[in-house]
């Protein structure tokens, strides 16, 4: 931590900062559900007829901070709450946070993106009530 702080102080530059809050609907889904028998189940399965209701609500906000530094790369900080595990199993992957970072850096010249996963213990990418063949 000390090394990181020393490096950051050594790299200080005049900068402008902006904040944006967007929304990513139907990307993150609750994974804990109250079942009809009164039990609580995590990831109860797609179209499980025993699901009564989800426990909680999903925060669909995407938080972005952009820091434009003088004579240096722009830094974009992105935050979204969703459990990254679309690969599954024992495979290692940057998953969708890596995709997000690469996409932001490709879209904005001279930009470094840092992704921060939010509180996502009860949220993942599985929609247990899909519609339209999803």
C-alpha 78, offset from chain centre = 8
Give yes or no for residue 88 having a pLDDT over 80.
no
What is the domain partition of the chain in residue ranges?
2-29+58-124
Q: State pTM to two decimals.
A: 0.82
Mean pLDDT across 67-93: 87
**Residue 97 DSSP symbol:** H
Mean pLDDT across 102-108: 96
What is the C-alpha separation between 115 and 118, in angstroms, rounded? 10
Strands 111-117 and 74-80: parallel
Q: What pLDDT is attached to residue 133?
A: 56
Mean pLDDT across 94-123: 91
Give yes or no for residue 126 having a pLDDT over 60.
yes
What is the C-alpha separation between 117 and 127, in angstroms, rounded? 19
Mean pLDDT across 123-134: 80
């Amino acid at each position: 931590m000390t090394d990181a702080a020393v490096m950051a102080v050594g790299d200080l530059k005049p900068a402008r900062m902006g904040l944006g809050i967007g929304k990513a609907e139907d990307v993150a889904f609750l994974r804990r559900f109250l079942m009809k028998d009164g039990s609580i189940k995590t990831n109860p399965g797609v179209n499980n007829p025993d699901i009564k209701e989800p426990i909680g609500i999903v925060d669909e906000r995407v938080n972005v901070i952009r820091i434009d530094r003088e004579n240096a790369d722009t830094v974009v900080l992105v935050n979204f709450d969703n459990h990254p595990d679309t690969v599954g199993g024992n495979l290692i992957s940057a998953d969708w946070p890596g995709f997000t970072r690469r996409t932001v850096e490709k879209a904005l010249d001279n930009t470094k993106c840092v992704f921060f996963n939010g509180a996502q213990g009860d949220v993942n990418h599985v929609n247990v009530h899909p519609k339209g063949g999803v």
